[in-house]
Structure 1
Amino acid sequence: MPELPEVETTRSGIAPHIQGQRISGVVVRQPRLRWPIPGNLGDLLGGRTVRAVERRAKYLLLRLSNGSLILHLGMSGSLRILPRDTVPGKHDHFDLLFKQCCLRLRDPRRFGAVLWTDQPVEQHPLIAHLGPEPLSEEFNGVYLHRQAQQRRVAIKNLIMDGRVVVGVGNIYANEALFRAGIHPARPAGRISLARCARLAEEIKQVLAAAIIQGGTTLRDFQQEDGKPGYFAQELLVYGKAGSPCPGCGNPLKQQRIGQRSSVYCSRCQR
């Protein structure tokens, strides 16, 4: 699934092509995604200008004068900037047309979303409950420690909870916890303020580095220009169970925590 760095890479890639441009049409080839694409989307968007291309968690927000288009890439979706006359493929379900190009959603598993709201997007049911952005000043060690107080849930599950902080998916949770020296199964309430501060900082650094590198390509993700992300080359533990720990050489272990695979070093992470 595309995680926050992949979605941010997509946002920064498509924004220069469509921000400030007028929408000339909409093509819906398959309306049945995770939720149905609104049938009147063409009437709502036609002739409107994209004022801004933003991201909230893993949602892309196209801001227009009359509302916001909410896009989600689902499990394997991607967005491309293409010439208008590019022949669509089997899984190309949605096009947003502009004078010089089209923005095309490809979604083989159809878990993505194309939604519309004419209300403040911050109040949309999919967005209203979300926690702070991990790269914001609001997310820091004091905030994380406060959220962890008297919580028995594993720290990995806590930082992957979008109500606590958005966008820390499985890959980056593994990496940040290793770099912070914290065992992924450790109860959140047993982690000190100092260690929460270290973890919050490592989350920021891992995500920032992944954004610079263009995200992490493991299965499906590619950037809007078709080039893969390269942060996978810098992963220290994710997907490397049984390999020597980069810190001490001890074999990395793996266990399932919250239904997700967790790789860690039993010697370096406590």
Structure 2
Amino acid sequence: MPELPEVETSCRGIAPHCIAQKITDIVIREKRLRWPVDPELPALFKNKLISSVSRRGKYLLINCELSGKHQSLMIHLGMSGSLRVITENSPINKHDHLDIVLSNGKLIRYNDPRRFGSVQLNLLGDTHPLLVKLGVEPLHESFNTDYLLSICKKRQVAIKALIMNSHVVVGVGNIYAQEALFRAAIHPSRQANRISVKRLEILVETIKQVLSEAIEAGGSSLKDFTSVEGKPGYFQHTHQVYGRGGEPCINCGLPLKQTTIAQRTTVYCGNCQK
């Protein structure tokens, strides 16, 4: 499932092709996504100038401005979605559900085999119902030790479940939560309100570090995800725990353990993580 680094990779990939271009058309081939695609999108966005491309959590926003009014296409990649930048007349492949046609002759093509993603109109900015309750961005300065401490001291849940809670902090999905907790030497099931300030400070740093490294590597390509150029990400080659249950810990050499936390498979080192 595309997580924050994969969505940020897509955001950065399409931005240079979109900004200052007009949307000349939106071609909808399959409207049955997580929520039905509004058939009025082509008319609503025709000839709108793209002012910016941004990300909020795992939502990608193609922003337009018209007469001072905010209007954006809000895209979620779901479980298997990806975006490609291609030229007009490129062959249409299976699961190519929607094209955003630009005035420079480029297309932003949305492909989603499992159709759990979405493409929606957003007239409300960050007050949209899907965005308004999202937590802080993990790479923003507002995600810091004081903030995490204020949340943790009230919670008796496993720390892994807490940092994956999008109402607390957005985009720290299963892969990156496991990797950050391993680097911070914190057991993923440790109760959040029983972690010291110093260890929370380290955890904040490792979350930022892991996500930043993953973005630079183009994300993790485990199944369907590719960049807008169709290239896989490479961060999966540096995974230290994710997907490595039973293999030796890179630090101590003991077999990594595997359990389930918040209904997600979790790999950790019982020796190095306390």
- TM-score tier (shorter): over 0.9
Q: How does 1:4-153 map to 2 (within 5 A)?
A: 4-66=4-66, 67-99=71-103, 100-119=105-124, 121-153=125-157
Matched residues in 2 for 1:150 and 1:129: separation?
19
1:203 shift after superposition: 0.2
1:242 shift after superposition: 1.0
1:151 shift after superposition: 1.2
Identity level (%) = 53
Q: How does 1:219-234 map to 2 (within 5 A)?
A: 219-234=223-238
1:225 shift after superposition: 0.1
1:71 shift after superposition: 0.4
Uncovered stretches (5+) of structure 1, i.e. residues with no partner: none
Name 2:189's counterpart in structure 1: 185
Name 2:198's counterpart in structure 1: 194
What amino acid sits opposite 1:171 in the alignment?
Answer: I
What amino acid sits opposite 1:13 in the alignment?
Answer: G
1:171 shift after superposition: 0.4
Matched residues in 2 for 1:98 and 1:245: separation?
48
1:142 shift after superposition: 1.3
1:65 shift after superposition: 1.2
- Provide the alpha-carbon RMSD of the alignment: 0.8
Length-normalised TM-score, structure 2: 0.97
1:152 shift after superposition: 1.1
1:87 shift after superposition: 2.2
1:70 shift after superposition: 0.3
Tell me which moved more, 158-167 or 17-26. 17-26
1:32 shift after superposition: 1.2
Name 1:252's counterpart in structure 2: 256
Name 1:174's counterpart in structure 2: 178
Matched residues in 2 for 1:225 and 1:54: separation?
18
Name 1:214's counterpart in structure 2: 218
Matched residues in 2 for 1:245 and 1:142: separation?
31
Matched residues in 1 for 2:113 and 2:227: separation?
16
1:57 shift after superposition: 0.6
Name 1:265's counterpart in structure 2: 269
Length-normalised TM-score, structure 1: 0.98
1:117 shift after superposition: 2.0
Matched residues in 2 for 1:145 and 1:268: separation?
23
Tell me which moved more, 222-231 or 87-96. 87-96
Q: In structure 1, the residue corresponding to 2:22 is in which secondary structure?
A: coil
1:26 shift after superposition: 1.1
Name 2:161's counterpart in structure 1: 157
